[in-house]
Amino acid sequence: MWRDFRSSSTAMGGLAITLLVLAAVTVGAELMSYSPTGMSFTTVLRPPSWAHLFGTDSYGRDVFTRVLYGARVSLLISGCGVGLALMLGSLIGMTAAYFGRLYDLLVMRLMDLLFAFPAFVLALFLMVIIGFGVVNVTIAIALVYVPIFARLAHSMTLAVREEAYVQAARAMGQPPLRLLAREILPNIAAPLMVQASIGVAFGVIIEAGLSFLGLGVQPPTPSLGTIMADGQEYFRRAPWVLTMSGLAVCFALLGLNLLGDGLRDLVDPRLRKRAT
């Protein structure tokens, strides 16, 4: 399987970019000579140069360093949110499909209802209810993604439920939860991971959007959204802050999306072959 992965240029490209980004935000950030919060009124609003790759903002802070730290926060938020949604959603979807009947009906209807709201609107609504901040944004992203994972896990579990090895395990008396974990989960994991990869990317966009509006991560914590919000204030005078930080977001998310696409190409034909 690794060989298939290697031959897919999208997957490899995506992986390369993602790893690069991860390295940059973890190790690279620490290596930067600037501090993300260190203000300096002598270097306010400088355009990009070799000293400041992305220029400086209105407080004289190096934008590139801030972007690295901000990306760390954004990726953490999105990663945790999607991870939470993955666990919860898969559990909901799998159990609903396996146990069926009223539980299935009610739960999946609830998921459908959640899914009916536009993603960003749902997140925004939640922020109004529970307030702003890093943790709450994570919860909002999780809420947006739970129905997606639930529906995916549900439909796949339905397909797999009738397979021979599942019937055999059931006949042997394996308790349901263990059956779900041991037999079903490994076989539906792949598309879930694909969705997760793409989900983290979109989660960053949601976080960026919320923070950009001022309804997400609150300053002084840097996040990709708050940096772009800063950049928006003086966009006409110094467009580079917003532009460059946005480009950084594009680059990071491109890696994640390419990785997800590459994985999906790997997983899909397999699924089709399995179905026949």
Partner 1 sequence: MKTIQFILARSLGALATILVGALAVFLVMQAAPGDPALAVLGEHATPEAVAAFRAEHHLDAPLAARFLVWLKGFATGDLGRALTIAGGASISQLIANRLPNTTFIGLYAIFFSVGLSLLIGSLAAVSRGKLADTAVTSIAALGVSMPDFWLGYVLIFFFALNLAWLPSYGFTGPFESLQGALLTGLLPALAISAPMTAVFSRTLRTTLLESTQRDYVTVARSFGFSQPFVFRHYVFRNSIIPYIVVVGLQIRYLLGGVVIVERVFGVPGIGSLMVDAAFARDYPVVQACTVVFLAIVMTVNLTVDIVCAVLDPKRTR
What residues make contact with partner 1 under the rule CB under 8 A? 9-10, 14, 112-113, 115-121, 124-125, 127-131, 198, 201-202, 205, 208-209, 212-215, 228, 232, 235-236, 239, 242-243, 246, 249-254, 256-258, 261
Distance, first Cα to last Cα, the chain:
20
131: β partners? none
3-state secondary structure of 56: strand
| Smallest distance from partner 1 to CB 121, Å | 5
Give the whole-angstrom CA distance, residue 130 versus residue 254: 31
CB nearer to partner 1: give 97 or 119. 119
Least distance from C-beta 223 to partner 1, angstroms? 12
In this complex, which beta carbon is closest to partner 1, that of residue 7 or of residue 49?
7
Listed residue (85, 86, 39) closest to 63, CA to CA: 39
Q: How far is the CB of 36 from partner 1 (least distance, A)?
A: 20
Q: Of 84 and 208, which has the nearer Cβ to partner 1?
A: 208
Q: Which is nearer to partner 1, 125 or 165 (CB)?
A: 125
Q: How far apart are CA 268 and CA 263, in angstroms?
A: 9
Find the shortest distance in angstroms from Cβ 171 to partner 1.
Answer: 37
| Cα–Cα distance, 27 to 22 (Å, whole number) | 8
CA–CA distances in Å: residue 121 to residues 7, 200, 213: 39, 18, 13
To partner 1, the closest distance from the beta carbon of 78 in angstroms equals 13
Token duo for residue 89: 């959603």
Q: Which amino acid is at 89?
A: G
- For partner 1, give the closer residue by CB, 36 or 225: 225
